[in-house]
Amino acid sequence: MPNVRTALAIASLGIAIAAPAQNYLVAPSSYATNDAPAYGWVPGASRSLRQQTLMGASHLTPMLGTAIVAIELRRNMVDEVYQGGTAHLDVTMSIAPHEPIECSNVFANNTGTLPIQVFSGDVTFPTSPSPGNNPVPWTTNNIVRIPLTTPYPYGGGTLCIDIVGTPIAGQEANWWMADLELEDIAGTTNDLGGGCGLYGGVDHEWSYVSRRSLVPGAHARFSANGTPLGLALACFGTTAPSSIPLSLILPAAPGCDLWLGTLDEIVPTIFWPPAEPADLPFGGEAEISFHLPNTSSLFGASLTTQWVDWSQMATSNAIEWTVASAMPTADVAVLDGDPTEATGLVSVYLAHVMRFEYQ
Amino acid sequence: MQNGEGIRVSTTAVSGGSITVNVGPTDDVVEIGVLGGTATTTHHVPGDKDTLIPVPSAEAGSLLVVMVGKGKRKRRIVVTIVAPTP
């Protein structure tokens, strides 16, 4: 008959066998102990937000064949206290049908065929003391931890972490910014002028091109302000050697100058009135985007975009834009949007730094 | 400072001076305009966490609108413009 000491030894061995080893993986691993270059908001901290993170398989190899049991986000390193709060999160995980660089602006297109809801509940944003200018450790006061109620088996591929966050009234963590990897590459733009009409101030600069979106694999974004509910035409073509007055071809006012040498594409849309009525004098808002293929053949490709506000028969400032001569290699992406909408804003060059606990 | 919804900025800004807007690079553009006018200017968000934006010359007491995002992702914060110190 075993004595008490032997029995205890056997019992503790049983406990050791029953409790699987806990392992951690930080992705991207280069930020396991270092601060990442940027910060980003977290769904539900202060606003309803849906955020899909695509984490490439290259970051996740050590977790192959294991089960993910928790996800953690670490605060950004900055010399200030972060006030805490609570948010409600719904988290679904799946294996995306493509690599992060192919991230779609449609949430459903990034979701795999077997999505699993791994968590639904309230999550604490801890009040986090200032770390000074020192790296932030993954300790309780510095992390938002999402303990998965259903462990997620990872068998390889691009992990899609789909988080819908809802703030809880009175418990918002208004400035709790999580560490964010950013691969800072961008295209270039050159404002050619030629704008006229009511908007954009004295220089009539009422159109804009997002430089960071001018990257192969990204969704290039173009925006403009114009007559609320009026027809907006985004015109694409090559740059003309010199401008020509719009009045030569359309009944337009003096000062409206076309900078398009060719007219390769016209994309119609509407200048939607701003949600805040006080912003109406700035004009309605039009935005279009399209996917730039993930190919080096686009390096340095250039076009010019000029908008027409049809209601005023006015031209925007023309912008000559050039695609970056580099491709994102971070193997991450984020689709960020309103939970009530089917589409969102794609970034194929950034993502929250995440620590996975797995067994 | 006033903050929330992933954007942070001071409550006042000096006319003709500059203002720092904190916003993550998920939104890579900050747009500002003086309330009541038709002019807005757009500014690229750098990767180093702070965006320094010139403040238009406007009368003290005017309101500067700082905007990020489009459509339902849009957020705005209003800043009071103050006169420069003599």
pLDDT-derived band at A73 (thresholds 50, 70, 90) equals very high
For residue A327, pLDDT over 50 is answered with yes
Closest by Cα among A222, A320, A307, A208 to A256: A307
Q: Do B24 and A39 touch (CB under 8 A)?
A: yes
DSSP string for residues in A257-317: EEEESS--EEEEEE-BPPSSGGGGGG-EEEEEEEEPPS-GGGTT-EEEEEEEETTTTEE--
Mean pLDDT of A324-349: 96
Residue A220 has which token pair?
């290039």
Which of B26, B67, B75 should we substitute to test contact with A (largest number of A Cβ atoms within 10 Å)?
B26
In this predicted structure, the answer to whether residue A16 has a pLDDT above a threshold of 50 is no
Are A167 and A44 spatial neighbours (Cβ–Cβ below 8 Å)? Answer: yes
Cα dihedral B55, B59, B60, B63 sign: negative
pLDDT digits over B40-59, tens only?
999 998 877 788 999 999 99
Chain A residue at shortest CA distance from B69: A345
Measure in Å the smallest separation between the Cα of B19 and chain A Cα atoms. 18
pLDDT of A83 higher than 70? yes
Write the burial class of residue A275 (CB in 10 Å: 0-12 exposed, 13-18 middle, 19+ buried).
exposed
* Total domain count, chain B: 1
Position A176 scores a pLDDT of 96
Interface test with A, best of B27, B40, B43 (most A CBs within 10 A): B40
Tell me the CA distances in angstroms from A57 to A79, A194, B11, one per residue in order. 34, 47, 44
CB pairs under 8 A between A and B: 122
Asked if residue A13 has pLDDT above 50, the reply is no
A265-320 per-position pLDDT tens digit: 999 999 999 999 999 999 999 999 999 999 999 999 999 999 999 999 999 999 99
**pTM of structure:** 0.91
Asked whether the predicted pLDDT for residue A251 surpasses 90, the reply is: no
Lowest mean per-residue pLDDT among A128-132, A241-245, A271-275, B2-6: B2-6
Q: How far is CA A171 from CA A119, A123, A127, in A?
A: 20, 11, 12
Mean pLDDT of A326-348: 96
CA A202/CA B25 separation, integer angstroms: 29
Of B4, B35, B72, the CB nearest to A338: B72
Task: Say whether residue A313 is in contact with chain B using an 8 A CB cutoff.
Answer: no
Instruction: Tell me how close the Cα of A344 comes to any Cα of chain B, in angstroms.
Output: 9
Q: A-chain residues within 8 Å CB-CB of B41?
A: 201, 205
Q: Where in chain A is the domain with CATH 2.60.40?
A: 188-322
**Residues in chain A closer than 8 A to B21 (CB atoms):** none
| Portion of chain B with pLDDT greater than 90, in percent | 64
Task: Give the lowest-confidence range in A116-120, A181-185, A268-272, B3-7.
Answer: B3-7
Q: One-letter amino acid identity for A154?
A: Y
Residue A237 clears pLDDT 80, i.e. is over it: yes
Question: What whole-number percentage of chain A has pLDDT above 90?
Answer: 89
What pLDDT does A5 receive? 52
What was the pLDDT predicted at A8?
45
Cα dihedral A178, A183, A187, A188 sign? positive
Residue A11 has pLDDT above 80, yes or no: no
* Nearest chain A Cα distance for residue B21, angstroms: 13
Q: For residues A48 and A337, is the Cβ–Cβ distance under 8 A?
A: no
Task: Tell me which residue range forms the domain holding B39.
Answer: 2-82
ipTM of the complex: 0.93
CATH of A188-322 among 2.40.50, 1.10.3470, 1.10.150, 2.60.40: 2.60.40
CB contact under 8 A, A285 and B3: no
Burial (CB < 10 A; 0-12, 13-18, 19+), residue A5, is exposed
- Specify whether the CB–CB gap between A314 and A232 falls below 8 A: no
Q: What pLDDT, on the 0 to 100 scale, is given for residue B46?
A: 86
Interface test with A, best of B38, B48, B49, B66 (most A CBs within 10 A): B38
| Dihedral sign (CA A298, A303, A307, A308) | negative
Q: Do A344 and B42 touch (CB under 8 A)?
A: no
Work out the mean pLDDT of chain A and round it to a whole number.
93
pLDDT: which is higher, A201 or A148: A148
Q: Do B4 and A174 touch (CB under 8 A)?
A: yes
The pLDDT of residue A19 is above 70: no
A185, two tokens: 């590459």
- List the single residue in B39, B42, B49 with the smallest CB-CB distance to A38: B49
Is the pLDDT assigned to residue A2 strictly greater than 70?
no
pLDDT higher than threshold 50 for residue A14: no
| Cβ-defined contact of A338 to B4 (cutoff 8 Å) | no
Query: Tell me, what CATH number does B60's domain have?
Result: 2.60.40.2470
